[in-house]
Structure 1
Amino acid sequence: MEQFPEAHKPGYAVYSRKSLAIYDALVLGLSNSLIWRCASKHLVDLYSRHLTADHLDIGVGTGYFLDKAVFPVAQPKITLLDPNAECLEAAAARISRYQPRTVQADALIPWPETLGRFQSVGLNYVFHCLPGTMTEKTVLLDHLKPHLAPGGTVFGSTILQGDAPRSWIARKLMAVYNSKGVFSNEDDTRDTLEAALALRFEEVRIEMIGCVALFSAR
């Protein structure tokens, strides 16, 4: 794995070939439906609404959503950006029919100038895995803006605390994940997310499903 700031690693180093093999069933199936109360079909719909012919996906996981969602063209140009080489490999293999480009990079440090510009940028389940407060972690939006084409859309989702509805098991699991550094969302709320987006974009939309915020901005 390429060397990136140590403080950023707990949120993505947990993803190995072994954990990625069960990620869809455990996280996208069980946790999303029963614990976070936002079934993955809602996130697939979010992707289908906002994907464009020239898309950048950040924090790519297994490539599930790019695989399941509907693009507006048959052969979109897709770039995958993630600090974890195994996530990049898994996602790229899953959507190999699109011949994606992969970029191993940390979204919290300035992005490669050669990355290009995109009509859509996906940030699915990224913010709650990044260290720091919402103000600190949304610096990635500043790195992102030069790479967003005029009229382009940023969209994604993140798991919130604050007044987001959470069952006992959701609270308990979040506490465990935060203690291990897998999550860093103790102070993440809808208000802090909305403020960070509104600071940088003219149009901001947030929909809460369970304790998951589905957002888009342009």
Structure 2
Amino acid sequence: MDSFPDAHKPGYAVYSRTSLAIYDALVLGLSNRWIWRCPSSHLVALYDQHVSAKHLDIGVGTGYFLDKTRFPVADPSVTLLDPNRECLDKAAARIARLNPVTVQADALVPWPKDIGSFKTIGLNYVLHCLPGTMTEKAVIFDHAVPHLEEGATVFGSTILQGDAPRSGAARKLMQIYNRKGVFSNEADTQDTLRAELEKRFAEVKIERIGCVALFSARKPRLA
């Protein structure tokens, strides 16, 4: 399917044409509301608050949130980046009216230099699917920084473990997903997320709803 690092594949290879057909109902409907206790309306609101006229979306899923959000202009520039071609095709078709640019790439390795720069970069439900500790997966923010225009915002959400409140069903489902490699969030906490963001950005906001952290970050710290 691709030439990306094998260690990164379990978190995205699971998304086939068949699984994407039920993703909205199963994950964005059932799981978000009843398992993770963060209804998808909160994630739509996160997009509404931050999305810009020049936006890059990482880990695009079905394109649900880009389809639902209210862009600040009628003809935004939208770029989709994902290692999974099925996800790219599904999302691009869903928001075809916006004429998105698609880039098949692994966001954990340096991004294509010609991808451009953006006013917003979205990382919705991405981090908990990336392998490694929060410190290891936070390299994605390092790759993002060179592609941020002045005043730009990185925002997104991720499912936490640690001290995040979780029902028995949530604990069991996370255990299954971590065992399969779909999730890799056993050590992910709100504190570790904040620490990695604050290493890189001067302005960080995090809100936890259920066991989901909704975050935004601005003003990169210069190395």
User: Once superposed, what is the RMSD of the aligned Cα atoms?
Assistant: 0.3
- Runs of 4+ off more than 4 Å: none
State the match for 2:7 in structure 1. 7
5+ residue gaps, structure 1, are none
SS of the residue corresponding to residue 171 of structure 2 reads: helix
Q: Give 1:3 shift.
A: 1.4
Q: Secondary structure, in 3 states, of the residue corresponding to 2:178?
A: helix
- What CA distance in whole angstroms lies between the structure 2 residues aligned with 1:150 and 1:12? 31
User: Hey, what's the Cα distance between the residues in 1 that align with 2:165 and 2:75?
Assistant: 39
Q: How does 1:1-218 map to 2 (within 5 A)?
A: 1-218=1-218
Matches of 1:133 and 1:12 in 2, distance apart? 17
SS at match of 1:203: strand
Shift of 1:165: 0.4
TM-score, reference length from structure 1: 1.00
Count residues with an aligned counterpart.
Answer: 218
For the residue of structure 2 that corresponds to 1:110, the secondary structure is coil
- Between the aligned partners of 2:126 and 2:115, the Cα distance in structure 1 is 19
Structure 2 gap ranges (5+): 219-223
Identity %: 74
Matches of 1:203 and 1:81, distance apart in 2: 25
Letter aligned with residue 4 of structure 2:
F
One-letter amino acid of the structure 1 residue matched with residue 83 of structure 2: P
Partner of 1:3: helix, strand, or coil?
coil
Give the TM-score normalised by structure 2.
0.97
